[in-house]
């Protein structure tokens, strides 16, 4: 593999990883405007037996108060391993955990994230997890 190809892949990995950092930071802040900036729309989420096509405005603040989020305070990445990387798309094998305000763990969830470069912007294009 040429140095240019290797460097291009590392640039892609760095860009995609920065996107995932921003994704988690905005999510934990419950800042929906900032969180939406970490997506490339339409985006797809497969979880809890449901396939959701996500467009701008799909997420609402009330989501942080219901169901699986009723005890949730914040989340954190436990693993973000690159599966494949090209110049405009990176696949990640991830695990994230959800926490209560006291720091106790609600649960940890394995997932796959696909982060793409579209029009100069790194964003989450697809994710599949075992999270409720």
pTM for this predicted structure:
0.90
Q: Tokens 């391993």 sit at which residue?
A: 81
> In this structure, are residues 24 and 75 in contact, taking their beta carbons and an 8 Å threshold?
yes
Tell me the pLDDT tens digit for each residue of 43-78.
999 998 999 999 999 887 776 676 666 889 999 999
Enumerate the domain spans of the chain: 3-129
Q: Tokens 């989450």 sit at which residue?
A: 124
Tell me the pLDDT tens digit for each residue of 17-43.
999 999 999 999 999 999 999 999 999
Separation between Cα atoms, residue 34 and residue 22, nearest integer Å: 8
Question: In CATH, what is the architecture of 3-129?
Answer: Roll (3.10)
Separation between Cα atoms, residue 98 and residue 3, nearest integer Å: 39
CB 83: neighbour CB atoms within 10 A?
12
Distance of CA 131 to the CA centre of its chain: 12
Q: Output 84 or 8, whichever has higher pLDDT.
A: 84
Q: What is the pLDDT of residue 2?
A: 45
Q: What is the residue-wise DSSP string for 48-99?
A: TTEEEEE-TT---GGGGGSGGGSS--EEEEEEEEEEEEETTEEEEEEEEEEE
């Amino acid at each position: 593999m040429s140095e240019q190809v290797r460097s291009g892949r590392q640039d892609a990995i760095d860009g995609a990883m920065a996107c995932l950092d921003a994704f988690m930071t905005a999510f934990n802040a419950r800042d929906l405007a900032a969180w939406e900036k970490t997506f490339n729309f339409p985006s797809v989420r497969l979880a809890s037996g449901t396939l959701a096509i996500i467009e701008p405005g799909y997420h609402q603040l009330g989501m942080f108060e219901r169901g699986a989020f009723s005890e949730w305070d914040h989340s954190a990445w436990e693993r973000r391993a690159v599966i494949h990387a090209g110049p405009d798309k990176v696949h990640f094998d991830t695990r994230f955990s959800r926490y209560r305000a006291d720091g106790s763990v609600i649960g940890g969830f394995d997932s796959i994230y696909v982060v793409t470069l579209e029009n100069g912007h790194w964003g989450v294009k697809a994710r599949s997890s075992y999270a409720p």
